[in-house]
Amino acid sequence: MKITLGHGGGGELMGELISKVILANTTFRKVGAVGLEALDDGASITVGGKEIVLTTDAHTVTPLFFPGGDIGRLAVCGTVNDIAMMGARPVALASAFVIEEGFDTEDLERIVKSMDAAAKESGVSIIAGDLKVMERGAIDKIVITTTGVGIADEVVRDANLKVGDKIILTGTVGDHGIALMSFREGFGFETTLKSDVAPLWGMIKLALEAGGISAMKDPTRGGLAAALNDWAKKNNLGILAQEARIPLKKEVVAASEMLGLDPYQVANEGKAIIAVSADKADEVLKIIKSTELGKDAQIIGEVTKERPCKVILETIVGGKRIMEPPIGDPVPRVC
């Protein structure tokens, strides 16, 4: 088997590659509440009664600068958001740059300044790093890898859904991937549509304080469809989602139709799905909607016993269909 772009897209192909090649050849030695085999947004180490959450992420984006952000902001926000989805307070980051020979130092400086600003916005410090340079043509401009550290009293896990939990989506989906695709393909949506890339911890912290949260996930590669299907499979439960409640910007709908894309399968970088007990759902939703990042939040569905491992979408016209996970990545090189 040869690796394709689709294997990095967060869909079924990526899951198969991780399972058959990486997990099959890895010895698991669990040192905290969550290990590699869980395939959550991070893993943890138990130290002195606390869970030290670790996550790492590589970023290869084209273009490097896009409406609403750049690869530097994306690298920081993507990593701190993975920590937040584990219920942990982001504390620090390490970053590694692999740069192509001939890369403009002015662009590098712009990226580093953007990372620094995003770190300050996220409440974290960049405390370590590395830099390598490769021959011209050996790499596409620059790849940034960020490793994040957070701390939690108790880790929030994907495999913790309960029947009856309500699912909150914190805002419109498809903004990031569609904005990048429209911008680099020159479709003209860049004047109004921007990436949603943003750090989520401030909003997530308020939601956690309200209580009742079973699981959280940021729908990045593979979008909402991949994230919901991952939950359903890990918990052997069904998820019923209501299409009429899923917020979408009109620009995303128009661009998706033009490009032949399913916006539910497109990457987001500033949104979360949160599973909350039914008795706490309205309270948590109200808290999320009171924040700038969560003003468009909606309860979009619930966890059910029916159709285990499947996500069922109640369509706007009243029918039902299976929300399939993506096979590969409909919009590559966006995170």
In this prediction, what percent of the chain has a pLDDT beyond 70? 98
List the domains of the chain with CATH numbers.
35-152 (3.30.1330.10), 166-322 (3.90.650.10)
Contacts of 137 (CB under 8 A, 6+ apart): 100
The mean pLDDT value for 275-280 works out to: 98
Query: What's the confidence (pLDDT) of residue 188?
Result: 59
pLDDT band of 16, cuts 50, 70, 90: confident
pLDDT in tens, 59-109: 999 999 999 999 999 999 999 999 999 999 999 999 999 999 999 999 999
DSSP state of 325: P
User: Is the pLDDT at 195 greater than 60, yes or no?
Assistant: yes
DSSP state of 8: G
User: Is the pLDDT at 8 greater than 80, yes or no?
Assistant: no
User: Is the pLDDT at 282 greater than 70, yes or no?
Assistant: yes
Using an 8 Å Cβ cutoff, are 70 and 82 in contact? no
CA distances from 39 to 18, 86, 124, 143, 201 (A): 9, 12, 24, 23, 21
